[in-house]
Amino acid sequence: MSLAEHQSPAPRIYKRVLLKISGEALMGDGQYGIDQATCERMAHEVVDAVNAGTEMCLVIGGGNIFRGMQGAAKGMERASADYMGMLATVMNALAMQNAIEAIGGRARVLSAIPMVTVCEPYIRRRAMRHMEKGRIVIFAAGTGNPFFTTDTAAALRAAEMGCDALFKGTQVDGVYSADPKKVKDATRYDRLTYHEVIARDLRVMDTSAISLMRDNGIPIVVFSIHTRGGLADVLAGRGVCTTISD
């Protein structure tokens, strides 16, 4: 059965990975904003991965603070709403940088919208050099352009950085045929192709992000960001996840 065959992906060593986290993941049990304990837990996951030898970069959404699409839906001009959403991602990136450094890690925030008072501007070669030195790079402000989501920004940065995979941390442990929180008998897939994700409208990431990963041959690994040690387990090839590739 091409859609899944429900076989676990073969172990693979990823030298360089981009981790995409939604802004909502930082809320913890709250309804809004940033939960410091949740940031610290995720920081430990990322720092442990780096200490194990993986070069890491992150893209964090801004939905816990402001969502451009929702602002536009309420009558706000779309470009302005999207720029506000980008600023929210900068706030999340700074919070994650602080959490990483508080536990002894090294991190740099690089923003697609220059704001040199608070973080570095995004320069591709500088970002790569930071990772080569063992620093965790957090990409903020999306692509720097309205009308693009942070999913697309994550795919773009993963391609620019030459990442071996794009890891997407979600609320569940992989990709399902339907929302498992609403459909009890939803099927979880171990493996999918890019085409199957798009054709079946599985809503893992934006179609543009999926297409960009397909064009660059970069697999997407979907796993639960809320499972302690989940990132390290998936990096080691033993965790529960869904791998999307050709």
Residue 61 identity (one-letter amino acid): G
Per-residue pLDDT of the chain (246 residues; tens, 9 = 90+): 345 444 444 444 699 999 999 999 999 888 899 999 999 999 999 999 999 999 999 999 999 998 767 777 788 899 999 999 999 999 999 999 999 999 999 999 999 999 999 999 999 999 999 999 999 999 999 999 999 999 999 999 999 999 999 999 998 999 999 989 899 899 999 999 999 999 999 989 999 999 999 999 999 999 999 888 999 999 988 889 999 999
Q: How high is the pLDDT of residue 28?
A: 87
Contact 96, 58 (CB under 8 A): yes
- Burial class of residue 207 (count of CB atoms within 10 Å of its CB; 0-12, 13-18, 19+): middle
Class of domain 16-244: alpha beta
Every domain of the chain and the residues it spans: 16-244
- The confidence score (pLDDT) of residue 131 equals 96
- Return the pLDDT at 2: 43
- Fill in the amino acid letter for 141: A
CA distance 34 to 122: 24
Q: What is the pLDDT of residue 74?
A: 80
What single DSSP character describes residue 79?
A: H
Least Cα distance to 176 among 191, 190, 186 occurs for 186
Using an 8 Å Cβ cutoff, are 89 and 67 in contact? Answer: no
CA-closest candidate to residue 110, choices 136, 81, 83 = 136
pLDDT tens profile 61-118 = 999 998 767 777 788 899 999 999 999 999 999 999 999 999 999 999 999 999 999 9
